[in-house]
Amino acid sequence: MGDLSRRDFFKNAAGVGLGISFFEPIFFKRGAATAVSAGLPVIISSGGHGIKANEAAWQILSKGGNSLDAVEKGANVIESDQEDMSVGLGGLPNEEGEVELDASIMSGPDRNAGAVGALKYIENPCSVARLVMERSDHVMMVGKGALRFALAHGFKKKDLLTDKAREIWLRWKENLSDKDDWFPPKELKEEDVFQTYGTINVLVVDVNGNISGITTTSGLAFKIPGRLGDSPIIGAGLYLDNDVGAAGATGRGEEVIKTCGSFMVVENMRRGMSPQEACEDVVKRIIKWHGGKADFQDNFVAINKKGETGAASIHKRFRYAVYNEKGNNLYDGAYLLD
């Protein structure tokens, strides 16, 4: 248990300070190993798919590339992977069966940001977000305007709904109600039990200590068309400050937006917390807002300017990948509730 957790325990036990109830869980459970890096560069990405993203990002860094190119190329690989049903091509669609993508990007050295929301037909939304950042006077573009902007820059329209994603959406639609005319199939398939949130964060500190980050997603499966999650919101699904570090969120975006989650993680690091402590603090905030329990999942990953990393979730089963001098490895995030 770190000093912070011990302090929190005594504060809570005395019933003073934060006004947290005595029943609120305060001890994070940890996997056998956490990532420890001895130098730069370091990449941290959320989820099991983080391994693939890190590989692509490392290819850029190992050739002397910068953090911004590294995060973009890393995220592009997952966006273009049609087997990944939470990001880009192959992502699960909205309630009308249309794939709507959200993404954001931040460049530490430029202190700049770009984002797109509810973007249809474009496989790599984080690259459009980069263009919003670099080739427009705006930070965020959504819907048809974002699509027109992408097409103006030469992106090609593509049907992003794969057969696999369409079939899962169809099962969902057929099982919605017994008061409509859609009949469900006689047997449910394995894919009918699926995760409704996916998303990937890719955060890099390059050899020069410059920080970049991306968050990209197809968002909540079967969402109401036009719903934006946390991923395109600077400060919610992604935040960084080149003097401090970076943070990204995955999971139920509504809670991350309400708590300005990634911004809070970075501000915690600015005030002296380690990336691990900073992530855990925000997870505790979210759980506190829900009376000490949560029937949803949120996850945070963070990295500071020295390349130290951290990750924490509400519930277990969150993994993250770190590429450092030890190679590219997957770790279990700390979690508060079973």
Binding site residues, ligand GLY, CB under 6 A: 197, 199, 217, 219-220, 229-231, 237, 250-253
Helix/strand/coil for 4: helix
Report the residue number, 104 or 250, with the smaller CB distance to ligand GLY: 250
**Closest to 79 in 3D by CA, of 106, 59, 58, 99:** 99
* Position 297, amino acid: Q
Dig out the tokens for 86 from the structure: 């939470």
By annotation, the residues acting in catalysis are 199
Smallest separation, CB 184 to ligand GLY (Å): 26
Residue 131 belongs to what H/E stretch? helix 125-135
Smallest separation, CB 181 to ligand GLY (Å): 30
Compute the distance between CA of residue 115 and CA of residue 213 in angstroms, rounded to an integer.
12
Strand partners, 324: 327
End-to-end, the C-alpha distance of the chain in Å comes to 18
Burial class (CB in 10 A: 0-12, 13-18, 19+), 141: buried
**Closest to 1 in 3D by CA, of 279, 294, 276:** 276
Report the residue number, 242 or 297, with the smaller CB distance to ligand GLY: 297
Report the residue number, 54 or 231, with the smaller CB distance to ligand GLY: 231
Compute the distance between CA of residue 316 and CA of residue 190 in angstroms, rounded to an integer.
22
Smallest separation, CB 229 to ligand GLY (Å): 2
Report the residue number, 251 or 307, with the smaller CB distance to ligand GLY: 251
Are 299 and 313 a contacting pair, CB within 8 Å? yes
Give the Cβ contact number of residue 30 at 10 Å. Answer: 15
Are 94 and 114 a contacting pair, CB within 8 Å? no
Report the residue number, 93 or 237, with the smaller CB distance to ligand GLY: 237
Smallest separation, CB 167 to ligand GLY (Å): 22
Smallest separation, CB 147 to ligand GLY (Å): 19
Are 277 and 310 a contacting pair, CB within 8 Å? yes
Report the residue number, 68 or 103, with the smaller CB distance to ligand GLY: 103
The single residue listed with the structure tokens 């949560």 is 294
Compute the distance between CA of residue 300 and CA of residue 332 in angstroms, rounded to an integer.
12
Smallest separation, CB 50 to ligand GLY (Å): 15
